[in-house]
């Protein structure tokens, strides 16, 4: 059953990504068909996650389960914007990432990794961290798109004036909205960890805590300087990419060592 669900979701994502790529050149074509396949892919992805989490009783949320959760959230947030050009342009790549995360989840056994004690506070911490990671990852993708659109404008490319290409201002505004929301959620996740989790400064967690805190401060600084001093453009995007790398190293680096190398 799980194999069939995973295969269905992966194929649906890839087909939807292919149709979306074609729709970028012809936005009015296959709109309803693409929407139906995209929704089916999201439902299938969610069902796979629900099945895996139920089978492991929420005590084995390993690296690949986390990746699948984050990519599903990214797909949902991106799809919620509907036909907005900026979101439509990113969606094929996001769907491919989601398909890859599902494939990795299927290949690697769900019971890989150390068991977790899923208390209500830890569940809150994990939920906030997952939401923050997905929103900040999406913000980083929009930041890269911002660099791309800016380059087209500077080189006077024909693509820059195409109706299919999002405006620079709309991409930048949404980029900072995501960055602000993600920074707040990440700060809340860290605050919950500081006050309610006992092992956040444990030997095996210290580097994760330090890197996550550094990432949070970096994201927060970008947002504060943007609203206070008008920081924008390439500098803001480059700083966001650096902060994202810190966050990836802090969380996924430690999970890779714990769930794959040590296990």
Full DSSP string of 64-94: HHHHHHHHHHHHHHHHTTTT-HHHHHHHHHH
Distance CA 30, CA 21 (A): 11
Residue 161: predicted pLDDT? 45
Contact 41, 133 (CB under 8 A): no
Residue 249: predicted pLDDT? 82
Residue 117: predicted pLDDT? 66
DSSP result, 9-25: HHHHHHHHHHHHHHHHH
Residue 182: predicted pLDDT? 94
Contact 80, 135 (CB under 8 A): no
Global pTM reads 0.87
- For the chain, 263 residues long, the average pLDDT of each consecutive 10-residue run is 86 90 65 87 93 73 85 94 83 94 82 65 85 94 87 63 68 91 93 72 67 89 89 88 88 60 49
Please give the C-alpha separations between residue 168 and each of 147, 150, 152, in angstroms, as whole numbers. 9, 7, 10
Distance CA 68, CA 66 (A): 5
Contact 29, 94 (CB under 8 A): no
Residue 29: predicted pLDDT? 61
Residue 254: predicted pLDDT? 61
Residue 209: predicted pLDDT? 77
């Amino acid at each position: 059953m799980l194999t069939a669900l995973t295969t269905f979701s992966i194929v649906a994502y890839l087909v939807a990504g292919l149709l979306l790529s074609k729709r970028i050149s012809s936005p009015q074509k296959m709109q309803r068909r693409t929407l139906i396949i995209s929704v089916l892919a999201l439902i299938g992805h969610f069902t796979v996650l629900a099945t895996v989490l139920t089978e492991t009783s929420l005590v084995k949320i390993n690296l690949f389960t986390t990746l699948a959760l984050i990519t599903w959230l990214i797909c949902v947030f991106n799809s919620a914007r509907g036909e907005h050009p900026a979101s439509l342009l990113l969606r094929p790549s996001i769907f491919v990432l989601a398909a890859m995360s599902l494939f990795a989840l299927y290949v690697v056994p769900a019971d890989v990794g150390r068991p977790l004690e899923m208390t209500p506070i830890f569940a809150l911490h994990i939920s906030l961290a997952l939401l923050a990671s997905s929103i900040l990852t999406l913000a980083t993708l929009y930041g890269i798109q911002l660099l791309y659109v800016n380059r087209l404008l500077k080189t006077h490319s024909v693509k820059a004036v195409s109706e299919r290409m999002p405006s620079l201002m709309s991409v930048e505004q949404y980029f900072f909205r995501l960055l602000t929301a993600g920074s707040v959620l990440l700060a809340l996740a860290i605050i919950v960890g500081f006050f309610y989790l006992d092992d956040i400064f444990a030997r095996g967690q210290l580097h994760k805590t330090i890197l996550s805190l550094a990432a949070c401060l970096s994201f927060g600084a970008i947002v504060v300087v943007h609203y206070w001093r008008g920081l924008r453009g390439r500098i803001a995007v480059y700083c966001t990419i650096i902060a994202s790398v810190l966050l990836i190293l802090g969380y996924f680096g430690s999970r890779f060592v714990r769930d794959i190398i040590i296990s």
